[in-house]
Amino acid sequence: MEIFVAQIINAIALGSIYALLVTGFNLLVVVGGIFPFAYSHIVVLSMYMCWFAMKVTGNNLLAGILAGIVSGTIFSFLTEPIFRPLAKRQAQLGSFIVAMALALILTEVMAQKLNMGIVISIPQNLQGREALIKFGAATITAGQIATIVGSIVSFLGFFYLLYRTKQGRAFRAMGQSPFSARILGIPIVRTRIYSYLIAGLMGGISAIFLAMAIGTASSSLGDNLALKVMAVAMFAGVGNLGGGLVAALILGLAEGMVLAYLPGDWSQAIAFGMIMIIVMIKPRGLFGTMV
Amino acid sequence: MSLGLYYYLQLTALFIMLGWTLYWVYRIGQLNNAPIAIMAIGAYLSAYAVLKWGWPFPLAFAFAAICGTTFALIPALALGRAPAFSMVIATIALIFIMQTLFRNLPWFGGAIGLFRIPKIKNLLWITYGFLIFFGILIYRFDHSRFGRAADTVFEDRDVASTLGVNFYLFSVCLQVMTGFIGAVVGVLYAFTIRTVIPVYFGFPFLLAITTFIFVGGYTTMWGVVVFTPILWGIPLILPENLAVFRNFIYGALLMGTLILRSEGVIDRRMLKKLEMSVRSIFKTNLKKK
Amino acid sequence: MKALKVTSSIFILILAASVLCFAGGGKKGPAPAPEEKEAVAAEDAVWVDEWVFPSSNIITGVSAYHGMLNEFGADMAIEEINKSGGIRGKPVRVRWYDEGTQDSARAVAAMSEMLDTKPLLVMGPCSDVSVRAAVPLAVEEGVYSMCTLAGYPMAREFTPWTLSFVANDRDQARAAVYKWVELVPGMKKVVHFTAPQSGTWMSIAEAENSALQDHGIAFVDIAVPYETVNYGPIVVRALGENPDGMIFTSHPEGIAKIIVELHKRGWTDNSKFLLSQAAPVPELWQIGKGYLDGSYVWMWFDPNSDNPRWQKLSKRHEESFGAPASFMMVWKGYDELFVIKKCFEDLKITGNPAKLDEERIAIKEYMNNCSFDSIFGPVKIVDGVRQNPTLIFTIENNRLGEKITVPLEIAM
């Protein structure tokens, strides 16, 4: 029984990681009008910046956290001019391809230039390795708690922003129709830039939680996460906020259970298989697309 | 013929055909990556038939092509009406599923795969034969009512349906056709590389093909034809100390092209201008005579 | 005017395509002997001005770091060889070709380019995937390839046309497990963390399992996918099997994280861990810091060797990469060049294009059975396979500590 409980906790922690990422992803889809495949790569790059800051400051926690958050925001902001012409043309598929190209470049940068391509290990004072709650094989670590709580807080914060603030209304208006939003006097370019900044901020925060939960980062992590985040978004329905969170948890559970109980390395196949089936049956996602 | 030239010609032909699989279904606005997964089926089944059952190459080829095409029907029927992104994700998922299947099924050698695939004489001729055949097929499609229907669908699916275009059937047919091409390419690839490992047919492959088609131009079949040899050949002409920037160059070219020239370098307007210029040259020369 | 523009555009396109088709790619083959050398002084006089060895390397992609290490070791060897007068009085250079990361098409393209330079031999490819795709070309052309990283299945397939520095890893893996079982008696059940995506590692894992079977020890294989971000489920599953010991034949990052997870969940006896030979790389030490002491690692080279050449390389590696060298990629390029040097000097290779086939065969015959002074001391190559010791280390203070040399016969 405790083994099963331990597996559930692991799976929820895994799903929380995906949920963190899919929230920022959905913001850029809805408001930015793009398909940000490279979002996960920017998050991983922020993890590298966090690690670097801690390395040069003698493992200073605050420096690492600030570096991660600030770099996520800046990197996301810097990608806005790249996607602006595509967003104007409402070329979502085109933006997906451009994002793939950006991801390719970022992966190469991490593989060749950052720490000479060696996997980075986040200092232990940021990693939440210590088991806070333990019962037999089941443990809950600080990192897992932070990830789960962080994703819930992120989601709530984002929900509040989107549905309770003026800026959020502007975001939703742009997501529905940029043309109408312009007519209504919403500053399109500025709103789009804000969406990149907020997505970047969320990405930076995600990077810190990821650093706590995973403890390492490598050049291939971006691709791994990007595919899963994209799949989760499609599974739920692109742009569907609440759906994204639920879908992330479902995927995390499925992957975790497969890793835990099935032989071979079927976890990825089963996770993707689930997504494929859902997409085939419900092309607009399990919960439908939504702004 | 030098070895380098042989493999350059062989691989560019295969990549051109793969690029056409993306191009053909994208004519109706759907980005279908399933041919890469079908390629794995074609490669594995043909290699297995030759190595384990001792079948001659033509028989193994036909077997793998038929199986691949039949398999292509399954996602095609399910994804016929899928929106663009759904198809992208579902078919990327299919690529990973295929990789995992072939890695875990015991008959296909696992992670080690199948090897010692025999050399086929005149494989280059066979490859170019198929290249020309598929090229003609796609050219005829583009210049037929089906091509015009595809243009309409690409612009507006609803308008196309009011004009009598059955989008679902159209999509399924194109997916199956491109599945057939994918299976053929898979067989040819297996007999070119002469070994088949699951990891060969993965995401990096998809990235490369996507670069070729979107830089070359996705509105005509010629973009892939012209730019695949150029892009594949870039590393061959790069000085040694710049080889490290290969992926940067691909990424930058892809981004730059899509931002500055969304339809790719060779679009229909350019082709039309070229055609008119060539015609006017010939008309002028004829007049002079 | 318009017609001229169009015609010239078409012409430029055709020219560009032709250049790409027939371009030499900015590479240099071995410098050809000038016609004036017709009257050679002696039959074995060197014909080239410089020895250029084409080498397939991982220059781009997520594994570019491995290629960097390969170049690092090779550059050091080139420096030393050229300082001591080169090979038969001529300097040495390596021309690098990119095989990409797990890119079969790129590996084949690189190999075909290398073979077009009519080399005496080729170095690389590096990865299993590339070896599998590209080495058959070299074999067909009658060119020896130093794919020194090739694991057992690859080496057996291409012998006698390849040289592998690791190939008898099956026998070594078995010997390592035999010794481990002796060091940790009383085990009845072992969990084996494997890497199903790697053919070479699966081959090693099978060999290790066979050794466990010989001792009547039950084993459970648990696959460790490369792309997973959370190792919790795998670890809990492993603990659910109630094993007495664990073997790790997987990627180092995964191994370190699994061990950390095991500790978090109450496992304390590291002596019950046996880490496989690919493990001791920087990721392992960085991620597993503080959790690895007491574990056993089996290797087939000694990173603590006091051989001055190894010490020099390791020190330079530490200056460049921040940690002492412990990964095979660092020294394989180095040793490859030294075995080539010895081969060329013993056989008096000339580089004469007229003798190309003859010299290629001579190189193949030599390389299959020879001995040379490697960076770790004298080493024999028998039937294309480097005769490596099996060493078991205990990890102490996050480094490889006490060493036990294990004879292969223990498992035969």
- What does the pLDDT read at residue B174? 95
Provide the chain C residues 107-146 that lie in CB contact (below 8 A) with chain A.
none
* H or E segment to which residue C382 belongs: strand C377-382
Q: How far apart are CA B169 and CA B87, in angstroms?
A: 16
Q: Which pLDDT does position C14 carry in this prediction?
A: 54
Q: Which of C63, C101, C108 to mutate to test the interface with B (most CBs of B within 10 A)?
A: C108
CA B130/CA B204 separation, integer angstroms: 24
Closest residue of C to A256, CA-based? Answer: C233
Between residues B130 and B269, which one has the greater pLDDT? B130
Q: Does C230 lie at the interface with A, CB-CB under 8 angstroms? A: yes
Residue type, B255: M
CATH number of the domain to which B153 belongs: 1.10.3470
Mean pLDDT for the stretch of residues B213-217: 93
Q: Return the SS3 of C346.
A: helix
Question: A215 and C257: CB-CB below 8 Å?
Answer: yes
Which residue from A minimizes the CA distance to B244?
A112
Q: Are C164 and C198 in contact (CB under 8 A)?
A: no
CB C52 within 8 A of CB C94: yes
Q: A260 to chain C: which residues are within 8 Å by CB?
A: 233-234, 236-237
Provide the CATH number for the domain formed by C169-299+390-411 in this structure: 3.40.50.2300
Contacting partners of chain C (3+ CB pairs under 8 A): A, B
In the structure, what pLDDT confidence band is assigned to residue C2 with cuts at 50, 70 and 90?
Answer: low
Cα(C148)–Cα(C249) distance, integer angstroms:
20
What pLDDT, on the 0 to 100 scale, is given for residue A263? 67
Parent domain of B186: 3-288
Contact C257, C245 (CB under 8 A): no
Contact yes or no for C296/C271 (Cβ under 8 A):
yes
Rounded to the nearest 10 degrees, how much is the dihedral formed by the CA atoms of C161, C165, C169, C172? Answer: 130
Q: Please report residues of C whose CB lies closer than 8 A to that of A18.
A: none
CB pair distance less than 8 Å for C102 and B199: yes
Whether B197 sits inside 8 A of C129 (CB atoms) is yes
Q: How far apart are CA B212 and CA B214, in angstroms?
A: 6
Q: Kindly state the average pLDDT of the residues C152-173.
A: 82
pLDDT tens track for C346-365: 999 999 999 999 999 999 99
* Distance, CA of A199 to CA of A183 (rounded, Å): 25
To 10 degrees, what angle do helices B203-216 and B222-237 make?
120
- Per-residue pLDDT tens over the stretch C196-219: 877 788 888 999 999 999 999 999
C289 touches chain A (CB under 8 A): yes
The answer to whether residue A2 neighbours chain C at the CB level (below 8 Å) is: no
In A30-89, the residues whose Cβ lies within 8 Å of chain C are none
Query: Helix, strand, or coil here: C117?
Result: coil
Contact A139 C265 (CB under 8 A): yes
Angle between helices B145-155 and B167-193 (to 10 degrees): 110
Closest chain C residue by Cα to residue B198? C197
Q: Which CATH class is domain C51-166+307-375?
A: alpha beta
Neighbours of chain A (3+ CB pairs under 8 A): B, C
Percent of chain A residues past pLDDT 70, beyond the cut? 94
**C194 vs C221: CA distance, rounded Å:** 7
Q: Does B110 touch chain C (CB under 8 A)?
A: yes
Note the pLDDT tens digit of each residue in C83-142: 999 999 999 999 999 999 888 899 999 999 999 999 999 998 988 889 989 999 999 999
Helix (H) or strand (E) holding C400: strand C399-406
CATH of domain A2-281: 1.10.3470
Question: What's the average model confidence in pLDDT over B209-226?
Answer: 93
Interchain pair B255, A101: CB under 8 A: yes
Q: B14 — phi, psi (to 5°)?
A: -65, -40
Enclosing H/E stretch for A19: helix A2-27
The ranges of chain C annotated as CATH 3.40.50.2300 are 51-166+307-375, 169-299+390-411
Tally Cβ neighbours within 10 Å of residue A26: 31
Say whether residue A111 is in contact with chain C using an 8 A CB cutoff: yes
CB contact under 8 A, A265 and B103: yes
Q: How many CB atoms within 10 Å of residue C19?
A: 11
Q: Is A268 at the interface with chain C, CB within 8 A?
A: yes
Best of C57, C58, C60, C62 to disrupt the A interface (most A CBs within 10 Å) is: C62
Cα B281 to the center of its chain, rounded Å: 34
Below-50 pLDDT ranges, chain A: 291
Strand partners, C392: C298, C404
- Residue C94: strand pairing partners: C53
Where does residue B265 rank: exposed (0-12), middle (13-18), buried (19+ CB within 10 A)? Answer: middle
Neighbours of B188 (CB within 10 A): 26
pLDDT band of C33, cuts 50, 70, 90: very low
SS3 percent helix, strand, coil of chain C, rounded to 5, is: 45, 20, 35
CA–CA distance, A173 with A163 (Å, rounded to integer): 11
Residue length of chain C: 412
Q: Which residue has the higher pLDDT, B287 or C362?
A: C362
Into how many domains does chain B fold?
Answer: 1
> What own/partner pairs with CB < 8 Å and gap ≥ 24 does A109-114 have?
A109/A45, A110/A44, A110/A45, A110/A48, A110/A218, A110/A219, A110/A222, A111/A219, A111/C60, A111/C61, A111/C62, A111/C63, A111/C64, A111/C65, A112/B244, A112/C60, A112/C64, A112/C65, A112/C68, A114/A48, A114/A52, A114/A219
Taking CA B75 as the corner, what is the angle to CA B69 and CA B76, rounded to the nearest 5 degrees? 70
Q: Is B3 helix (H, G, I), strand (E, B) or coil?
A: helix
**Chain A residue with minimal CA distance to C260?**
A129
Under an 8 A CB cutoff, do C230 and A13 touch? Answer: yes
A229 at interface of B, judged by CB pairs closer than 8 A: no
Selecting from C236, C266, C282 the residue whose C-beta is nearest the C-beta of A3 gives C236
Shortest Cα distance, chain C CAs vs residue A255, angstroms: 9
CA distance C361 to A135: 66
The count of other CB atoms within 10 Å of the CB of residue C117 is 19
Cβ pair B226:C13 closer than 8 A: yes
Per-residue pLDDT tens digits for B2-34: 899 999 999 999 999 999 999 999 999 888 999
- Collect all residues of chain C within an 8 Å Cβ-Cβ radius of residue B7: 108-109, 112
CA of residue B41 relative to chain centroid, distance:
15
CB contact under 8 A, A283 and B207: no
CA–CA distance from B75 to each of A2, A269, B5, B238, C103 (Å)?
40, 16, 37, 40, 27
> CB-CB: which of A93, A227, A265 is closest to B92?
A227
C contacts of A221 (beta carbons < 8 Å):
229
Rg (C-alpha) for chain B, rounded Å, is 20
Domain boundaries, chain A: 2-281
